C-alpha cells in the first residue's frame, strides 16, 4: 500500500517537468538519450513493466498523449479458453531526431528509425526505416524526410505571409518582429538577434550552423511585411 503511494507520488512529481520525466524514466531502467523533451507529461503512458525493452534516442520531441507499450495482455483471452499463459512482449526503440505528434500509440516490437516524423493520431504497429514521415491508423510512410523538407520550404513562405496579414486584419495593428517566433529565418540575417525573439532557443545546438548557412528570402522585416500585404490568401 505504502509502496504504491510512493510510486504514484514519484510519477506525479515526474510529470511536473520534462527533465524530471527523463530522470524518472532513466531511474526506472529506460534508456533515454540527450535533449529529449516531453512537452506534456500527464497523459503520457510508457510501459515500465519491462523497462529494459524501451530505448529512446537523442533529440526526440514527444508531444501530448503518447502511449508506448512493450507487452500485450490479450493472452488473457487465450488463458480463459486454453488454460495457458502465453506471454507477449517486444522491444520498442525510438531513434534520434524524431518528432512524435499528439495521441500516438506505439505497440510492442516496433523500431522507429532516426530522422522521422510521426503524425498525430498514428497507430504504429510495425517498424519503419530512418528518414520518413509516418502517419495513419495503422501508420504508413507518407513521404521521405527529404521530400517533406522541400514541400515545407515552399509552403512555409505562404503560411508566414498569411499569418502576418491575419495579425493586421484581426487586431487592427501592424505585425511586429516579436510575433514571429518561428518565421524569423525568412527575414532576419544570421547575425541579427532582436530583443524578445528567441532565436538561439529555437535553434538550440544548431545555432552555429544557422549562422553559417542562413540566407533569408526577404532583405529585411519591412520587405516581408510589404509582401504580406500583397499576399492573396
Residues 132 and 160 in one domain: no
Distance CA 200, CA 205 (A): 8
Residue 15 belongs to domain with CATH number: 2.160.10.10
Residue ending a domain, choose from 83, 104, 137: 137
Q: Report the number of distinct structural domains present in the chain.
A: 2
Instruction: Enumerate residues 6+ apart whose C-beta is below 8 A from 29.
Output: 48, 51, 52
Q: Is residue 175 part of a domain?
A: yes
Residues 71 and 128 in one domain: yes
Distance CA 93, CA 60 (A): 12
Residues 109 and 155 in one domain: no
pLDDT 10s per residue in the chain (233 long)? Answer: 777 778 888 877 888 899 999 999 999 999 999 999 999 888 999 999 999 999 999 999 999 999 999 999 999 999 999 999 999 999 999 999 999 999 999 999 999 999 999 999 999 999 999 999 999 999 999 999 999 999 999 999 999 999 999 999 999 999 999 999 999 999 998 777 777 788 888 998 898 999 888 889 999 999 999 999 988 76
Distance CA 50, CA 33 (A): 18
Instruction: Enumerate residues 6+ apart whose C-beta is below 8 A from 156.
Output: 183, 186
Q: Is residue 142 part of a domain?
A: no
86 by DSSP, 3-state: which?
coil
Residues 18 and 121 in one domain: yes
154 by DSSP, 3-state: which?
helix
Residues 16 and 127 in one domain: yes
Residues 158 and 179 in one domain: yes
Residue 156: give the domain boundaries.
147-230
Nearest Cα to Cα of residue 140 among 129, 151, 155, 153: 129
Cell numbers representing residue 131 in the block: 528518414
Distance of CA 38 to the CA centre of its chain: 8
Residues 56 and 94 in one domain: yes
Distance of CA 44 to the CA centre of its chain: 13
Residues 74 and 187 in one domain: no
Q: Identify the pLDDT of residue 196.
A: 76
pTM: 0.90
Q: Are 217 and 200 in contact (CB under 8 A)?
A: no
Residues 130 and 177 in one domain: no
Distance CA 197, CA 1 (A): 49
Residues 182 and 132 in one domain: no
Q: Is residue 220 part of a domain?
A: yes
Residues 174 and 200 in one domain: yes
Residue ending a domain, choose from 87, 116, 137: 137
Q: Identify the pLDDT of residue 233.
A: 67
Residue ending a domain, choose from 95, 113, 137: 137
Residues 183 and 117 in one domain: no
Q: Identify the pLDDT of residue 20.
A: 96
Amino acid at each position: 500500500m505504502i509502496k504504491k503511494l510512493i510510486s504514484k507520488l514519484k510519477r506525479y512529481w515526474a510529470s511536473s517537468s520534462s527533465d524530471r520525466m527523463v530522470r524518472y524514466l532513466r531511474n526506472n531502467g529506460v534508456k533515454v538519450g540527450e535533449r529529449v523533451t516531453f512537452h506534456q507529461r500527464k497523459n503520457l503512458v510508457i510501459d515500465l513493466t519491462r523497462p529494459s525493452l524501451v530505448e529512446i534516442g537523442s533529440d526526440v520531441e514527444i508531444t501530448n498523449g503518447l502511449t508506448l507499450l512493450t507487452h500485450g495482455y490479450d493472452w488473457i483471452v487465450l488463458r480463459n479458453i486454453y488454460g495457458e499463459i502465453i506471454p507477449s512482449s517486444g522491444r520498442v526503440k525510438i531513434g534520434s531526431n524524431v518528432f512524435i505528434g499528439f495521441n500516438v500509440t506505439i505497440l510492442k516490437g516496433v523500431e522507429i528509425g532516426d530522422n522521422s516524423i510521426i503524425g498525430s493520431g498514428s497507430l504504429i504497429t510495425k517498424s519503419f526505416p530512418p528518414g520518413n514521415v509516418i502517419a495513419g491508423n495503422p501508420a504508413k510512410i507518407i513521404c521521405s524526410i527529404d521530400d517533406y523538407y522541400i514541400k515545407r520550404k515552399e509552403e512555409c513562405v505562404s503560411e508566414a505571409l498569411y499569418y502576418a496579414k491575419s495579425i493586421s486584419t484581426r487586431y487592427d495593428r501592424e505585425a511586429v518582429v516579436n510575433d514571429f517566433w518561428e518565421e524569423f529565418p525568412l527575414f532576419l540575417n544570421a547575425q541579427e538577434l532582436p530583443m524578445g525573439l528567441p532565436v538561439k532557443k529555437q535553434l538550440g545546438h544548431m545555432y552555429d550552423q544557422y549562422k553559417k548557412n542562413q540566407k533569408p528570402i526577404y532583405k529585411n522585416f519591412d520587405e516581408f511585411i510589404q509582401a504580406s500585404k500583397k499576399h492573396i490568401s
